[in-house]
Amino acid sequence: MFLNYLKIAWRNFLNLKTFGIINLVGLTAGTVCSLAILLYVQSQFGFEKHFDNYENIYKVTTFINNRGEFPDMELISGSPAIGPGLVEDFEEVIQQTRVVSMGGEFLMKPEGSDKSFFESNSYLVDSTFFEVFNFSLLEGDRKTALMEPRSLVLSSFLAEKLFGKGNAIVGKEVLLTNEEGEIQAKVTAVFDEHAGPTHLTPNFLLSMASTGLGNFVLTNDGWAGNNFVHTYVQLSLNTNPDQLALKLPDFLQKHGAEQLKAGNMDKTLGLFPIKDLNLRSAHFSYPLGKISDINYLYILIAIGFFVQLMACINYINLTTAQALRRAKEIGVRKVNGASSQSLMYQFVIESIFFSLFAVIISLPILIISLPYLNQLFDSSLVSEDVLSPQMLLPILALGFSTGIISGAYPAFYLGMINVNKVFKVKSKAARSSFSLRNGLVVFQFSMVFLLVYAVAVVSQQLSHLNEKDPGFTKNQKLVIPLKTATSSANYNSLKSQFEGLSQVNSVTGCEFYPSQNIWYDNKIYKKGTSVSDGKVVQLNYARENFFETMDIQLLEGRTVAETDSNKMVVNESFLKNFGIAQEEAVGSFFEQWNLNSESSPAWEIVGVIKDYNYLSLKSEVYPVATFYGTMPANLVVSFNGENPSELIAEMEKSWLSINPEVPFEFTFLDEEMSKVYAEEIRLKKVAYTFTGLAILISLLGIWGLVSFSLDQRTKEIGVRKVLGASLSELTQLLSKEFIVLVAISVVIGAPLAYIGMNQWLEKFTDTIDNTSFLLIGSALITLLVAMITVIYKTTNAANANPINSIMKD
Looking at residue 269, its pLDDT comes to: 96
User: Do residues 483 and 640 touch, judged by C-beta distance below 8 A?
Assistant: no
| Chain-centre distance for alpha carbon 141 | 37
Q: What percentage of residues in the chain have a pLDDT greater than 70?
A: 88
pLDDT category at 432 given cuts 50, 70, 90 is very low
What are the DSSP calls for 150-212, one per residue? Answer: TEEEEEHHHHHHHH-TT---TT-EEEEEETTEEEEEEEEEEE-TTSS--S---SEEEEGGGSH
DSSP 8-state class, residue 635:
E
Nearest Cα neighbor of 204 from 186, 224, 179 is 186
Q: Using one digit for the tens of pLDDT, what is the confidence trace for 567-614?
A: 999 999 999 989 999 999 999 999 987 755 556 789 999 999 999 988
| Chain-centre distance for alpha carbon 703 | 35
Looking at residue 425, its pLDDT comes to: 45
Phi, psi of 569 (to 5 degrees): -110, 130
- As a whole number of angstroms, the distance between CA 113 and CA 517 comes to 35
Looking at residue 648, its pLDDT comes to: 94
Looking at residue 459, its pLDDT comes to: 86
b/e per residue 403-423 (b: at least 16 CB within 10 A): bebbbbbbbebbbebebeebe
State which amino acid sits at residue 129: F
Looking at residue 726, its pLDDT comes to: 76
Mean pLDDT of 420-435: 48
User: Across-strand partners of 207?
Assistant: 125
Q: Using one digit for the tens of pLDDT, what is the confidence trace for 90-100?
A: 999 999 999 99
User: In terms of pLDDT, which residue wins out, 809 or 417?
Assistant: 417
pLDDT category at 427 given cuts 50, 70, 90 is very low
Nearest Cα neighbor of 753 from 391, 401, 453 is 453
Q: Using one digit for the tens of pLDDT, what is the confidence trace for 177-212?
A: 888 788 999 999 999 998 889 999 999 999 999 999
- As a whole number of angstroms, the distance between CA 289 and CA 298 comes to 21
Beta strands 93-101 and 230-235: pairing type?
antiparallel
Looking at residue 9, its pLDDT comes to: 57
Mean pLDDT of 639-665: 91
- As a whole number of angstroms, the distance between CA 478 and CA 504 comes to 10
Side-chain half-sphere exposure of 642, counting CA atoms within 13 A = 8
User: Do residues 359 and 31 touch, judged by C-beta distance below 8 A?
Assistant: yes
Query: Three-state DSSP class for 483?
Result: coil
Looking at residue 134, its pLDDT comes to: 94
pLDDT category at 19 given cuts 50, 70, 90 is low
pTM reported for the whole predicted model: 0.79
Looking at residue 231, its pLDDT comes to: 97
**Among the residues of 546-595, which ranges form H helices?**
546-549, 572-578
Domain extent listing, the chain: 54-280, 441-469+678-809, 477-676
pLDDT category at 415 given cuts 50, 70, 90 is low
Which of 229-238, 423-432, 668-677 comes out lowest in average pLDDT? 423-432
pLDDT category at 504 given cuts 50, 70, 90 is very high
